[in-house]
Each structure stands twice: as C-alpha cells, then as structure tokens.
Amino acid sequence: LFVPTITTGSTSQQNTLLRDHLDKKSSHQFHAPPLLWGVVSPSSLRRGTVLMSSTDEHHQPSLFDASEFDSHDATENTAFFEDVESEFDSFDETKPTSQDEIIETTSSITMDYADNALTDEEVRILDDREERLFNYINNTQKVESCILVGVEDLSAQRKANKALRMQQRESGDLATTLDDISLSWTLEESMTEMRELIKTAGLNLGGEITQRLQEVNPRTYIGTGKVKEAQQLLDEINEKLDHRNEGTCCTVVFDAELTPGQQKALENVFNKKVIENDFLGSDNDEVVKVVDRTALILDIFAQHAKTREGKLQVDLALHEYRKPRLTRMWTHLERQSGAGGVGLRGPGETQLEVDKRILRDRILVLKDKIDNVQKQRDLHRRGRKKGGLPVLALVGYTNAGKSTLLNCLTRAGILAEDILFATLDPTTRRVKLPGYKTHPEVLLTDTVGFIQKLPTQLVAAFRATLEEVKEADVLVHLVDVSNPCWRKQEVSVTNVLEEIGAGDKPIVRVFNKLDLLDSEDAEMLKYEAACSEDFSVAISSLTGEGLSDFVAVVEDSLSDLLVPVELELPYSCGNEVNLIHEVGSIEVIDYREGGTYVMGRVPRSLAMKLDKYSVGNIEGAEPNGETEDEIDWAALGKGRHAKKDASY
C-alpha cells in the first residue's frame, strides 16, 4: 500500500531519513509492497523536482514520506500540514483535501499502518493525493518535446549566389565560384545542426517537417498547407505521448530567424483552439510555443551562463530579443478589452506601453552594468599587456575543442563537453608552451564559440566578451575536422571575426580532432597544414598528437607580428613599398630626395629583411607609448627564423 506524505527539511536530512526508513523496510515486514517510494518536500514541489527518489519494481519515480510515520504527532504537525496544503493549493486548481482531513488521515495511517487496515475512504483520499502529486511530478519532470521545421529558401540561395557572382566579377576572380557556392549550408546540414541545438537545449525532438520554397511566405514563413501539416504532426505526436502518459508536445522550433510578426501569426494559427476555448473559459489545452533559431540559441546561452558577466550579457540579449515581440504576451488582455466593448477597449494597450517602458529601462540598466564589467575587463587587459606576454585567443565554431585544448595545455579544468556553447565566459591562463624557446610564457584565452548566423543580439550583448578576441595578438582558430561541415564552419567563424572587427588579426589555423579521422584523411590534412602558406597545424587535443607542431607554429605566428619601422627605400624598391602596403600598415609615406620614406608597421620577418633601409630605430619607441610590448616582440624574433621569410 502506498502512503504518500510530504516532508519538510533539507535534502540531506530527508535523504538520511529515507535511507534509514528503507533500511528498516525489511524489518517492518510490509504485508503489501509499497507502490511508490521517494521524497517530496514543499520546496521541491514548488521547483517541480523530487529531491530524491528510488524506484519501485515498476521503475517509477516515487513519492515517499521520509519522516517516521509513528513519530508524526497530529497536533505537532499542524503548521507543517498548513504548508503542505498551501503547496497543494499552489499547484492544483481543485481544492485539496481539507487540512483536518489530511491530519485525520495521517494520524489514522500512523495508527493503522502496522495493521495495514485502512478504510475505503482513507484509501480513496490517499489515492487521490498520490495521483495529484504523481501527475504533478510527472508533468514537471517530463522532457519538453518539440517538432522541427526547416525551409530550403531557394530565393535566399539565389540572392546569395548572385551577390557572390557580382563580387567575383568585380574582383575578376572567377575560379573560385563553384567552391564558394557550395559553401552555403544545405538544408540537411542546417537541420543536423538544429538537432544538436535542440538536444543541447534539453528538448526532445518528436518529429520534423521540411519545405522547399521559391519564396518564403511573408506572413507565416512556411506555406499555409505546411502549417496545417505541422499542426497534424503535433496532434499525432501528442496522441502517442498521451498514450504513454508522457505529457504534450507543444513547441515548434523553426530553423530560421522569424520576424516578430511571423512568430505571432504562427502562434495564432497553432493556438486557434486554445484561443477559442479561452472565450469559453476553459484553458485545459496546452499553448503551442513557436521558437526560432535565435530564441533557441539564446535559451542555451541562458542555461549555460554561469558568471555575473555572462548572465548580464545573456539577459541583455534576451531583452533585446523580446522587445519587438512584447505584444504577444498581451494578446490575451487585448482580447479581453476588445470583448468588453465600448469604453473598455484599450487597457491592453496601456499595459503594453507600461511593459515596453519597463523593458526599455531594464535594457538601459543592463547596458550600464555591462559597461562597468567591460571597464574592469579593460583594466585587467591593460594590466596583462603591461606584463608584456603575448595574448592568444582560442576562437572557433562551438564544440571545436577550444576548452579541451586549453585544458590540455594548462590543466585549467574548464568544462569541456560534447554540447554546444559549453563555454560562455572567457578564461585566460598563463601557459608555458612546452618547447617554446623564445618566450617563456603566453596568455591563452578560451572564448565563447561561434555558430553560423550568430544572432545579432548575442554579438551585440557579448561585446565585452568578444573584446577579448579583438584585443588578442594572435587568434588560434580551432576547426573540428571530424565534422563533415568543417570547411563551412571555418568560413562562418571567419565571417563572425570580420563582423566583430577582428578579421585582420594573424590567425593560426588548427585542424583539431585528428584522432577521429581515418589515417588517410588525417595524413591529407597534415599535408595540407604543412604546405599551407598560412600558419596551419593538425592536432588532436584529446590524444596530444601534433601539439609540439602546434607550439612551433604559434611561435612562428608570434614572430611574425607587426613591428614598427621607419625606412627610406631607394626608388628602385617599388616592389618592397607595394609589399609594405599589402602586408603591413603605413602611417606616413613621403617621397624624399633619397627615396621613399615610410613609417609604419610590418611583419617582423619583413622588417628584418628591410633593416638595411632603416632610418629610425626598428624596435623604436611607439608614438603612443606602448613600448613595453614592442620590446618584448623584438626579443621574440631573434630566437627563430620566421617561417614566412621565403614568401617575401
């Protein structure tokens, strides 16, 4: 027989009680095995979680009173039952068993327990309580199910290809056309990524729908027929879930960025029944949510944000996302006011205005707070710069293995997981690169991963975090070569880097997860890395393969950073001047008697080559006083011959 009671106390207390009780179980020699076991406290009910549960022979989650039955004195526990009852009130519409009844039942249970002789009425009450608690827990513990809708937007593809062709015609470089066109993501690739995102967000994928469209439907994004199909799919899934008593599927995830209008229109269609029922005063139906790609990513970020800074930034992004979508929350009020007729119309709008203002204020406050955080970051960074250590930022697509590499090099203990966006907050570590001769240490920063079509709200909100990337001396771009889409991912990352103004940083390309490739592919990539004109290297952060090459390439890249120069080049050196234009930056150029005077910055290797034309001090003082850095860089170049020398 099942005796559900609720107990208060901390988790550990309850666990101890439960353990004790379970130990005693055998000695009690129950006549009938308990159907359900476990612990529920009022606070756990409020959170919708069971603090601890064991399983019975049916492997069901369970409820159990961990406190000793016989120690429960009815009067002593009045306050406790009041608590319990208010808990019942808060989660169940139907009025729960009255307090007296509960006390009465519990005391009679206490008395009769040993005899296992409950009256029918008591059994009914207990059953009732059991069911309500059980349903509640079942519903709140259930994994949220969703369906995924993807669209192959042929018009967007056409546009993208056209833009590309235009661009190529202008630059006169037609050779790469085919390659580049195949760099746009196919529907299936995009859907695969969405499935990962859905899994990471903790959603269960119930079904999928796709559509090829010449033009997207401006109102509902997908065609009207497809909306119906989605509705049917939802119904079918819900029927199955219902059958297994597994809750409902009421989330529709779109592999697209929907406009607020489209989102609202879609929700209206999906919730037609609920809206109608609402007028009749019944709200038993689950409301269908429409979630677009941006909302899904924001949700994952919200779940993963750990530090104050991360939370503030996610909060800002969420507020910015919700601002234009605010009206949706008030549809209900608008309807009510509309239904009220003349004179009553409008309160919904007013509320909306108030709400918009609150949101705007909140956004300002958040921005202010983030500004403060950013100032602190700036300070830290300046401090680090003073230290003169070169700063490397690990960048790359989400799940590329950035945190794993940092852990591997430093044992930093950063959470590295096979989920998307595991890292949101930058972590910087001093790293002694093994075998790195010219500079004892570098600073290595792990950063948030990128994704194709990164939501603009996120890029804007994560300004402070992304600043770390912008301020780095060299970017270490990790690519997960075990992912079939890695070349496209690489392009996406390059695009984001450009978007945040870090596109011109020196980059070390790291082909990671080599261990997951078959040996032939691995050799090919190693070969590609070795032949590459850029700084490239193939490694496995998991097995450590190629890490010494990695250090060597990083070293090369650091030696190749720009250094200040002041030169006077003979007029016969036209090529050299062009080269400086190309690979360096020129601050002053003057055509003098003796030749072309150039003041600017060039890669160290080139500076060494042009040393003979130097008129200033090649490691000379920087006008803006950032000398410390430069002197350190100068020291860097001496130890090793720059790899790129040959190309000049």
Ligand X SMILES: Nc1nc2c(ncn2[C@@H]2O[C@H](COP(=O)(O)OP(=O)(O)OP(=O)(O)O)[C@@H](O)[C@H]2O)c(=O)[nH]1
Nearer to ligand X, 96 or 401 (CB): 401
For ligand X, the nearest residue by Cβ is 449
Residue from the set 540, 559, 596, 605 that interacts with ligand X by CB under 6 A:
540
**Spatial strand order in the sheet of 204-213:** 204-213, 145-153, 249-254, 289-292
Tell me if 417 contacts ligand X by CB under 6 A.
yes
Strands 442-446 vs 427-431: parallel, antiparallel or unpaired? antiparallel
Beta carbon of residue 188, minimum distance to ligand X (angstroms, whole number): 22
Q: Amino acid identity, residue 293?
A: R
Cα 635 from Cα 627, distance rounded (Å): 13
Residue from the set 93, 115, 239, 418 that interacts with ligand X by CB under 6 A:
418
Residue from the set 227, 266, 400, 474 that interacts with ligand X by CB under 6 A:
400
Selection from 46, 76, 52 nearest residue 64 by Cα: 52
Tell me if 516 contacts ligand X by CB under 6 A.
yes
Strands 391-396 vs 474-480: parallel, antiparallel or unpaired? parallel
Backbone φ, ψ for residue 409 (5° rounding): -80, -25
Beta carbon of residue 417, minimum distance to ligand X (angstroms, whole number): 5
Residue from the set 125, 395, 416, 522 that interacts with ligand X by CB under 6 A:
416
Tell me if 393 contacts ligand X by CB under 6 A.
no
Residues 6+ away with beta carbon under 8 Å from 28: none
Beta carbon of residue 393, minimum distance to Mg ion (angstroms, whole number): 13
**Spatial strand order in the sheet of 391-396:** 427-431, 442-446, 391-396, 474-480, 507-512, 535-538
Tell me if 422 contacts ligand X by CB under 6 A.
yes
Nearer to ligand X, 136 or 397 (CB): 397
Structural contact between residues 136 and 6, judged by C-beta atoms closer than 8 angstroms: no
Nearer to Mg ion, 403 or 483 (CB): 403
3-class DSSP assignment, residue 449: coil
Residue from the set 97, 105, 294, 512 that interacts with ligand X by CB under 6 A:
512
Nearer to ligand X, 126 or 424 (CB): 424
Tell me if 508 contacts ligand X by CB under 6 A.
no
Say how many Å lie between the first and final Cα of the chain, rounded: 86
Selection from 318, 326, 313, 312 nearest residue 298 by Cα: 318
Helix (H) or strand (E) holding 151: strand 145-153
Beta carbon of residue 380, minimum distance to ligand X (angstroms, whole number): 21
Nearer to Mg ion, 97 or 423 (CB): 423
* Secondary structure in 3-state letters for 233-254: HHHHHHHHHHHCCCCCEEEEEE
Tell me if 296 contacts ligand X by CB under 6 A.
no
Residues 6+ away with beta carbon under 8 Å from 136: 45, 48, 91, 92
CA 394, chain centre distance (Å)? 17
Please give the residue ranges that form the binding site for Mg ion (CB under 5 A). 402-403, 422-423
Stretch 71-130 residues interacting with ligand X (CB under 6 A): none
Cα 229 from Cα 151, distance rounded (Å): 14
Nearer to ligand X, 366 or 416 (CB): 416
Nearer to ligand X, 477 or 513 (CB): 513
Beta carbon of residue 258, minimum distance to ligand X (angstroms, whole number): 25
Beta carbon of residue 299, minimum distance to ligand X (angstroms, whole number): 15
Beta carbon of residue 436, minimum distance to ligand X (angstroms, whole number): 21
Beta carbon of residue 537, minimum distance to ligand X (angstroms, whole number): 13
98, two tokens? 């009255």
Structural contact between residues 302 and 313, judged by C-beta atoms closer than 8 angstroms: no
Cα 50 from Cα 252, distance rounded (Å): 28
Residue from the set 106, 251, 271, 423 that interacts with ligand X by CB under 6 A:
423
3-class DSSP assignment, residue 409: helix
Tell me if 200 contacts ligand X by CB under 6 A.
no
Stretch 435-464 residues interacting with ligand X (CB under 6 A): 449
Selection from 52, 28, 30 nearest residue 39 by Cα: 52
The number of residues that bind ligand X (CB under 6 A) is 23
Nearer to ligand X, 253 or 422 (CB): 422
Residue from the set 398, 536, 596, 605 that interacts with ligand X by CB under 6 A:
398
Q: Amino acid identity, residue 622?
A: E
Tell me if 399 contacts ligand X by CB under 6 A.
yes
Stretch that binds ligand X, among 55-63, 149-157, 253-261, 535-543 (CB under 6 A): 535-543
Task: Select the binding partner of residue 203 from Mg ion, ligand X, none (C-beta < 5 to 8 A, by kind).
Answer: none
Task: Select the binding partner of residue 41 from Mg ion, ligand X, none (C-beta < 5 to 8 A, by kind).
Answer: none
Nearer to ligand X, 264 or 429 (CB): 429
Dihedral (Cα; 269, 274, 276, 277), 10-degree rounding:
170
Please give the full DSSP string across 249-291, using - where no structure is assigned. Answer: EEEEEESS---HHHHHHHHHHHTHHHHHHHHTT---SPPPEEE
Nearer to ligand X, 399 or 559 (CB): 399
Task: Select the binding partner of residue 239 from Mg ion, ligand X, none (C-beta < 5 to 8 A, by kind).
Answer: none
| Interface with ligand X (CB under 6 A) | 396, 398-404, 416-418, 420-423, 449, 512-513, 515-516, 540-542
